[in-house]
Structure 1
Amino acid sequence: MSILKQVFTWWNGQTIGTRFYTWRFGNKIGQDEFGNSYYEGPKDNEGRPRRWVIFNGYAEASAIPAGWHGWMHHRTDIAPSQEEYQPREWQKPHKPNLTGSPEAYRPKGSMTSNGTRPRVTGDYDAWTPGD
C-alpha cells in the first residue's frame, strides 16, 4: 500500500520523484521534533542551495517549526540542528494549523460552538420600514 500512496498521492509523505531526487542529490541536514526531515541540494538559478522538507505523514506547511522555517526560506544559513537553537522566552511551543480539526478555535457565538455571543453596544439592528 505504501508504494501506491507514493505513486498516486503527493500530500501523504513523499512521492517517487521526490524520493529519487532526495536519494540522488539530497544531503540530510536534520530532523525536527515532529519527525520532518530537512534536506539541502544543488544550487538553484539564484545561486542558493535548494532546500526541502519531507513531512512525516500528511504534508502540511504549517507543521514546520519557526527555526526550521527560517532556514528553509534562507533567512539563516545555520540550520537548527547545527546550532543550539533555543526559542525566545516569549515564544509559545509550535502548533500546526488546527483549522478544520476538532481543536480549531471556535469563538463564543460562532456557528460551530455552543453558546451565544454576548450582546455588545454597537451591535447591528436590522432596519424596518417606517422607522
Structure 2
Amino acid sequence: MANLTKLLGLDKFVTLFRTIRDHGGIIGSFKTLYRVDELKSGTLVGEDKYGNRYYENNMHFIGRNRWVIYADKVGLNYDGSQVPPEWFGWLHYKTDLPPHEDPSRPKYKWMMDHQQNMSGTDQAYMPYSTTRPKIEPWRPSQ
C-alpha cells in the first residue's frame, strides 16, 4: 500500500495531512504558520523551563532538521536569545544528546539562570560613566 501511494504521488498529501494533524487541525496550523512562517512535523525531543519546545525530524536536511517553537507567552516577540545554552548546543549540533539525557553537562549552584537579551526594552543594560565629560555644555549667564 505504501508503494502504491508513493507511486501515485499521494505520499505528499499524507505528509500534509499528518502535519496539519500534528499542529492541532486547520486552525492550529494557521496559527503556527502565522507565528513561524513554516509548517514542519517532527518528534518532540524536549521542553525547557521557559516553555520552548524542541523538535527533530531526520527526514529534513542536516541543519534544518532541528528547530524550536518558542513559548506561546512571547507571541511574535521571539528571539534567538530566548534559547538557553544547553538547548543551544543541541540545536547547533555541538552535541547529539538533548540536555535532559546528557550526563556530562554540569550544573553547579553558582551558575546563573539564563536570561534573554534585553536590548531595546526598558530593562536594557545602560552603563553609567564615572568620568567627567570632555565637553561641557554652554550655559548662558542669567
TM-score range for the pair, normalised by the shorter chain length: 0.5 to 0.7
**Aligned counterpart, 1:61:** 80
Kindly indicate which of the two structures has a greater share of residues assigned to strand: 1
CA distance in 2, matches of 1:49, 1:100: 29
* Maintained 8 Å contact 1:38/1:52: yes
Unaligned runs of at least 5 residues, structure 1 = 109-116, 127-131
Question: What is the total number of aligned residue pairs between the two structures?
Answer: 105
Post-superposition offset of 1:81: 2.3
**Aligned counterpart, 1:98:** 118
SS of structure 1 residue aligned to 2:71:
coil
SS of structure 2 residue aligned to 1:42:
coil
Q: After superposition, where does 1:60-79 map in structure 2 within 5 Å?
A: 60-79=79-98
Identity %: 27
CA distance in 1, matches of 2:86, 2:33: 31
Instruction: Determine which structure has more spread, i.e. the larger CA radius of gyration.
Output: 2
Report 1 or 2 for greater relative contact order, CA contacts < 8 Å, sequence distance ≥ 6.
1
CA RMSD in angstroms, aligned pairs only: 3.1
After superposition, the C-alpha distances for 1:5-42 in whole angstroms (9 at most, x for unaligned) are 727743xxx45x42xx22xxx01100001010000102
SS of structure 2 residue aligned to 1:52:
strand
Among 131, 134, 140, the residue aligned to 1:119: 131
Unaligned runs of at least 5 residues, structure 2 = 1-26, 137-142
Post-superposition offset of 1:44: 4.3
After superposition, the C-alpha distances for 1:97-130 in whole angstroms (9 at most, x for unaligned) are 111222111112xxxxxxxx3325xx6459xxxx
**Aligned counterpart, 1:40:** 56
Residues 91 and 74 of structure 1: CA distance in aligned 2, closer, same or farther (over 3 Å): same
The two structures have a TM-score, normalised by structure 1, of 0.63
SS of structure 1 residue aligned to 2:100:
helix
